[in-house]
Amino acid sequence: MKILLLVSAFNGLTQRVWCSLREQGHDVGVELAPAFDGPESLTRAVERTDPDLILCPFLKHRVPDEVWQRWTTVIIHPGPVGDRGPSSLDHAILDRRDRWGVTALSAVEEMDAGPVWATSTFDLPRAVTKSALYNSLVADAAMECVARTVRKVADGEQPLPPAEVPRVVRGTTELPLLRRKAFEIDWRAGADEVARRVAAADGAPGAPADLGGKSYCLFDATAVPDQHGAAPGTVVGRNLESVAIACGQGTLWVGYAAEFTTKRGPKLPASMVIDASRAPFLPVPDAAAESAYRREGDIGYLTIRSYNGAMHTEQCRRLTAAVEKALTEDTRLLVLTGTEHAFSNGIHLGVIDAAPDPAAEAWANIRAIDELCTAVAAADQLTMAAFSANAGAGGVMAGLCADVTVARDGVVLNPYYDMGIFGSELHTWTVAGRVGPDRAASLLGDKLPISAAQAARIGLIEAVGPREWSSFGHWLSAVAVGYNEPVSRGRLHAAKERRRAESRPLSYYRTIELAEMARDLFDDRHGFEGMRRAFLRKTAPVATPAKLRFA
């Protein structure tokens, strides 16, 4: 089937749909709605491709009447049957919903009111941010809706009128757009309530709050019951870049913040924005910890937590120290993984952009993440990396530095650099070593996402585990135990020694990569500065990249 993805951005969900449909044998193309100057030009573009089906897994723009009236056009709405409006997930979190869903419905004149092709519901966790919810349970339900819709269209079936579809989630209706003011923080409220507002506003627009006479938007918040006897809205503690703030009841730990005057500034680690220099050091709650380490016999597990997958210079240095410390123990295998919602996307473009000298900060960040990769790659013990969530650029390459790399089903990998930089993280050693020089050149040059399943098929990673989070954890432990068996461990050590003997020293690859990166960062030979700023400011695309369109 010829399927067009009409989207506002080629985001994680769109990439997952794109990968899945292509792997099923469909002819898939993409058009970015913001790249068109009006409904007429968008309609002409659709007419040129004349698809069998238009899917909109992430679309904030209105589909022109001329399009949905002529071609079957299906919107993937992040709400259950009966829910309508642009702030569905915001409302679901604010309203303490215990169940939510996703619905595939035909585009019609009224937004989110068309006939229903498919719907899928799920239990809504109590403590989850909007971004994490969207990238996990919502994305999984959306994939189920896409699969059912494609099957129905292929079989010539028709969607059902909304009135004929049971409302599994009660009380759904049309709800208004929630703007930033709807998430304003009242520090007299309990920490749990404040954290919920921050979670609902996660990503955008951010929860506005006043602290010490200044205005901020808060992100990445964790509530704890601790009382410090301070007035609500007082900074009472700090730990690394996280900041603790007293509430009417309990304490709120904030991981990220942005200055907010006439408009919101960049999201940065909280202590880079909020002055907490006079606050005492306090232990950070486990849910907000940057890393966590545990032992199961002679297997060590190091979990890395990075907000949105970005890792700045000091964070990379601390994680390198955590890896090195874990490797001093009498473990035989070290497993590195991320959280359910993030693994890594490499260096922190936001911190780089906000630095007095962005080029110097980028250079420091690259060298710091290289140290982390080298610590993993050069370890005497066996190492395993597990892509627990989507990963991109240097985050993919960091995972490939391990002796064994696995992934969770549904994960999308972007194993390339697309920001005007050559790239580092020992990728000139790892990628070609895993898939061969020709396929490595294709992955790095085509700059297209691949699914975890495809990555395993081509040999980029070793295995794919289940999607459900607790099942993945059990699977990962079982796989680690299997690799730690004497016979398997012996084979891996032998392969590791052969790989070292057949390749040049790691410093060789790192030196070549850093030489290229120095020119990209300090001479800006490929436009890294402009691309970085456009990415961070979410500048609308002027055209759909040719690589995403129909062949």
Cis ω before 205 (30° cut-off from 0): yes
Which domains, from first to last, does the chain contain?
Answer: 2-164 (3.40.50.170), 182-287 (3.10.25.10), 290-468+487-533 (3.90.226.10)
Cβ atoms within 10 Å of 439's Cβ, excluding its own = 15
CB 384 within 8 A of CB 335: yes
Average pLDDT over residues 323-344: 96
261 confidence band (pLDDT: 50, 70, 90)? confident
pLDDT mean over 458-484:
98
Q: Is 263's pLDDT higher than 90?
A: no
Q: What is the DSSP string of 226-242?
A: ---SPPTT-EEEEETTE
Q: Which of 72, 81, 99, 66 is nearest to 161 (CA)?
A: 81
Give 66-97 pLDDT, tens digit per residue.
Answer: 999 999 999 999 999 999 999 999 999 999 99
Q: What pLDDT is stored for residue 500 in this prediction?
A: 86
Is the per-residue pLDDT at 262 higher than 90? no
Return d(Cα 231, Cα 386) in angstroms, integer: 43
Q: 3-class SS at 356? A: coil
Q: Are 375 and 319 in contact (CB under 8 A)?
A: no
Q: Phi/psi class of residue 38: alpha, beta or left (left: φ > 0; alpha: ψ in -120 to 50)?
A: left
Q: What are phi and psi of 54, to 5 degrees?
A: -110, 125
- The DSSP 8-state label assigned to residue 264 in this structure reads B
What pLDDT score does 199 carry?
Answer: 98
Task: State the SS3 of 408-473.
Answer: ECCCEEECCCCCCCCCCCCHHHHHHHHHCHHHHHHHHHHCCCEEHHHHHHCCCCCEEECCCHHHHH
Structure tokens at 516: 């290229």
pLDDT tens digits, one per residue of 5-57: 999 999 999 999 999 999 999 999 999 999 999 999 999 999 999 999 999 99
| Strand, helix or coil for residue 337 | strand
Q: How many CB atoms lie within 10 A of CB 283?
A: 11
Q: Are 403 and 496 in contact (CB under 8 A)?
A: yes
The position carrying tokens 């991981």 is: 255
User: What are the E-state strand segments in 260-381?
Assistant: 268-269, 291-296, 299-304, 310-311, 333-337, 346-347
Q: Whole-prediction pTM value? A: 0.96
Question: Alpha-carbon distance 122 to 65, whole Å?
Answer: 32
State percent of the chain over pLDDT 90: 96
Structure tokens at 211: 């602290």
Instruction: State how far the Cα of 483 lies from the Cα of 331, in Å rounded to an integer.
Output: 13
Round to whole Å and give the CA distance between 158 and 154.
10
CA distance 193 to 247: 10
pLDDT tens per residue, range 197-242: 999 999 999 999 999 999 999 999 999 999 999 999 999 999 999 9
Q: Which two structure tokens, joined as six digits, stand for 344?
A: 């890594």
**Per-residue confidence (pLDDT) for residue 87, from 0 to 100:** 96
The tens digit of pLDDT for each residue in 426-440 reads 999 999 999 999 999
Per-residue pLDDT at 502 exceeds 90: no
Q: What is the pLDDT of residues 93-139, one digit of tens each?
A: 999 999 999 999 999 998 889 999 999 999 999 889 999 999 999 99
Instruction: Label residue 551 by pLDDT band (50, 70, 90).
Output: confident
Residue pair 137/107 in contact by the 8 Å Cβ criterion: no
